[in-house]
Structures are given as structure tokens and as C-alpha cells.
Amino acid sequence: MTKSKKRTWHQHQGLILETKNGFDVIDCSLCGFKHIVPIPTPEELEKTYKHEYYTREKPLYLERYREDLDWWNMVYDERYEILEKHLSPTRRRILDIGSGPGFFLLRGKERGWITKGIEPSNQAVLHSQELGLEIANDFFSKETAKKLGRFDAINMSLVLEHLPDPVHFLRIAYESLDEGGVLSSSVPNDFNPFQNVLRDTLEYEPWWVAPPHHINYFDFSSLRKLLERCGFEIVHQEASFPMDMFLLMGENYVGNDALGRECHEKRKRFEMNFIKAEFRELKQALYKNLSNLGLGREAIFFAKKKFY
Ligand SMILES: [Zn+2]
């Protein structure tokens, strides 16, 4: 396909990077990040979200979380440690937006945090409540945010890529934080250098492009700019394991769930071995440096609401 065609949709304008399911992914000069056009309407999104509910209500979803729980708790502990480093010890109120089965908040509670979650999936909310967590069964919006109250930290894992208006959403999150509060956010790191090698020289279809389920396609640079535009100051960035590396090693897990699971096991083992060997700082430095190269399956940012 030609890579130099431009597309304009309302005020949004940019080069077309991919076309899939009737949508173009453009590198939008208005927004400063890549997203699909047309941007789906709320009605269209409702259908997509229904699919998301379905995913979260599949028994396998919970089963895998449980299987991976030791590893997840290691990931969560690292996340809490960074939040705790940037907040005074009396500031421990956290909101998890899209809290899923609740394991992230449960870990926080065990560490002494006052936790609240908001999650649209009924099944995930029921599971969280069984864990003794306080979760609102809803979408995060201006209205629901008011009822939730104010926080010292907000976490959103794999949320921003699904939203038709991430700027609006981040501004609501900003308002829900007290001054000096910290946001932690992870998104898929898309069109990253490893993926580009796979697409351009190994004839991989861009499997990470998934409209309308994924509307936005961030990387380290565009997510940083977006957070800064919404009033945040970045205090830390890191990558998650570059899963695309398995593909470069010839393990084609795309569309192969069993192989995907095997690769995931290897990644888990790799990371847990650093912890066992008490070489955690080395792992953290490695993932921070990967992020400086634009590598990693996910881009993870910690950003502070500035004091005025
Ligand atoms: Zn745009």
C-alpha cells in the first residue's frame, strides 16, 4: 500500500499509516498521536464495549489472572513502589479506572492503600466485591467522577487506547487528583521499531491495528506529549517486556493462543528470575532503557499533577 496518502476528517488530519475494517489509522497532526478515522460514535462504541464485557466475562480471563497472580503481584508491587516514592506516606488514596477483577487494588489494600475502583463489567465487579473491594459498576465520566471523590493516585491500565476522546478523559482524571497526585498509565506501544521491522521486512500484517476496538495508537513520545498537554508532569517512564522480540526470534504467536501463552510464560520466568536473584534494579534499569529506545510492548508513564 502507498504510505504517503493523507486523510482529513473534520479537524483531524494526517498521513494514512494503515487501513483496516473500514478505518484509516492516521498520524494526526491535530491530536499529536495516531488514531483511527472516522472516530466511532458512542452508539458504535457501545457495540465494541459489549465485546469487551464479553472478554472480561469469559471464565478463561479470570483463570489466567489467577495462574499469573505471583507475576502480576510482582508487576503491581513495582507500580506501587514508584507511586509511594512520589507521594508522602500520608497520601494513600488510589482509584483504579477499569479495575477488572480487582487484583491490582487488592495488592494495594495489602500494602495499606485506601482503594476504590470503577469498572463496567458486572462479572469483574462481582469478583472484586468477593475480594472485599469497593468498586463502582460504571464508566468513568464527569458525572461518575464526582461521586467517586478525590484521590492521591489514579491508575489506568490499557484504557486510553479505547477512548474516542482521551484528552477529555485525562482532564477528568486530572480534576479527580489532589495537587501533587500521581497518575500511572499504561498503553500498548504501537508502531514500535520491532513491529516496524516485522511489518516492513518480514511481511507481518500489522496485527496490533484493531479498529474500532483500539481507537488510539500511542508510543512513548505521543503519550508523553498528551499527558503534558493535560497538565501532568512526567516523573517516570518504563517499558514492559518487548513481546515482539519473540516474533523476531521466529516464534509466531500472532493468532496462536497456545504459543502466545508459552511466550508469556518465558517472559514471566525471565522477570521472576531477576526478583529471585535480587537483581531487581537491573531489570528496572533494563526496562527504563528499552523505553528510551521506543521499545517494549507497553508504554508506562507516571505523571504528577503540578502544584500551582
Ligand atoms: Zn486527531
Condensed to tens digits (0 to 9), the pLDDT of residues 245-266 reads 999 999 999 999 999 999 999 9
Q: Are 92 and 103 in contact (CB under 8 A)?
A: no
In this predicted model, what pLDDT tens digit does every residue of 156-189 receive, in sequence order? 999 999 999 999 999 999 999 999 999 999 999 9
Domain assignment present for residue 10? The answer is: no
Q: Are 211 and 23 in contact (CB under 8 A)?
A: yes
Say what the pLDDT of residue 240 is: 98
Distance 140 CA to ligand 1 centre (A): 22
The whole-angstrom separation of Cα 73 and Cα 85 is 18
List C-alpha distances in Å: 167 to 134, 210, 231, 294.
Answer: 27, 21, 11, 22
Please give the grid coordinates belonging to residue 25: 489509522
Rounded (10°) CA dihedral 31, 36, 42, 45? -140
Say what the pLDDT of residue 101 is: 93
Distance 31 CA to ligand 1 centre (A): 4
Say what the pLDDT of residue 121 is: 87
Domain assignment present for residue 301? The answer is: yes
Distance 184 CA to ligand 1 centre (A): 23
Distance 116 CA to ligand 1 centre (A): 32
Domain assignment present for residue 11? The answer is: no
Say what the pLDDT of residue 127 is: 93
Distance 81 CA to ligand 1 centre (A): 35
Distance 237 CA to ligand 1 centre (A): 24
Say what the pLDDT of residue 53 is: 62
Q: Per the omega criterion (within 30 degrees of 0), is the bond before 59 cis? A: no
Domain assignment present for residue 36? The answer is: no
Q: What is the CATH number of the domain that holds 115?
A: 3.40.50.150
Say what the pLDDT of residue 42 is: 74
Distance 41 CA to ligand 1 centre (A): 14
Say what the pLDDT of residue 27 is: 98
Distance 117 CA to ligand 1 centre (A): 29
Q: Are 177 and 150 in contact (CB under 8 A)?
A: yes
Q: Per the omega criterion (within 30 degrees of 0), is the bond before 38 cis? A: yes
Domain assignment present for residue 224? The answer is: no
Please give the grid coordinates belonging to residue 130: 468477593
Distance 51 CA to ligand 1 centre (A): 25
Say what the pLDDT of residue 46 is: 73
Distance 275 CA to ligand 1 centre (A): 41
Domain assignment present for residue 41? The answer is: no
Neighbours of 103 (CB within 10 A): 21
Domain assignment present for residue 274? The answer is: yes
The whole-angstrom separation of Cα 153 and Cα 105 is 12
What pTM did the predictor assign?
Answer: 0.95
Residue 255, domain extent? 49-208+230-305
Distance 24 CA to ligand 1 centre (A): 12
Domain assignment present for residue 22? The answer is: no
Q: Total structural domains in the chain?
A: 1
User: 3-state class of 137 per DSSP?
Assistant: coil
The whole-angstrom separation of Cα 308 and Cα 301 is 22
Distance 97 CA to ligand 1 centre (A): 24
In this predicted model, what pLDDT tens digit does every residue of 105-140 receive, in sequence order? 999 999 999 999 999 888 899 999 999 999 999 999
Q: Mark the ranges of the chain whose per-residue pLDDT is less than 70.
A: 1-3, 47-57, 308
Q: Are 218 and 190 in contact (CB under 8 A)?
A: yes
